[in-house]
Amino acid sequence: MRKLLKSFKTEINPTVEQKIKINKTIGTCRYVYNFYLDHNKTLHDNGEKFMTGKSFSVWLNNEYIPNNPDKICHCCGAIKKDLKLSDRIYRCNCGYVEDRDFNAALNLRDALTYEVA
């Protein structure tokens, strides 16, 4: 005898603020994924081996962005060393307030212009 599986249909009705956060989160994910594809295309064009998602994550965090982009203010460049992972909103002394992941995505987007001392 076959077991029947139950399924549930759920509808969500996000507020305008929640829709904005959802769109920012999805945009951040899309940006990082496209960055991953572009990096692998560059590796392929140079005759190198593709990076797995895990090795790309390690490379991105340890080599490409060594200073944790979520701790850098996208507006003024100040670094918040005391930022905890539980702090989901980035608030800078300059008045800049943004979702922490979106702030990191903006810093990642602009990382090619950073100079590492």
Task: Name 72's Cβ contacts closer than 8 Å, sequence gap at least 6.
Answer: 78, 79, 103, 107
pLDDT at 73: 85
Distance (Å, whole) CA 36 – CA 43: 11
pLDDT at 14: 92
pLDDT tens readout for residues 2-12: 787 888 888 88
pLDDT tens readout for residues 20-30: 888 888 887 88
91 forms bridges with which residues in the sheet? Answer: 97
pLDDT tens readout for residues 71-117: 888 888 888 878 887 888 889 999 999 988 888 888 777 765 544 43
Q: What pTM, to 2 d.p., does this model score?
A: 0.48
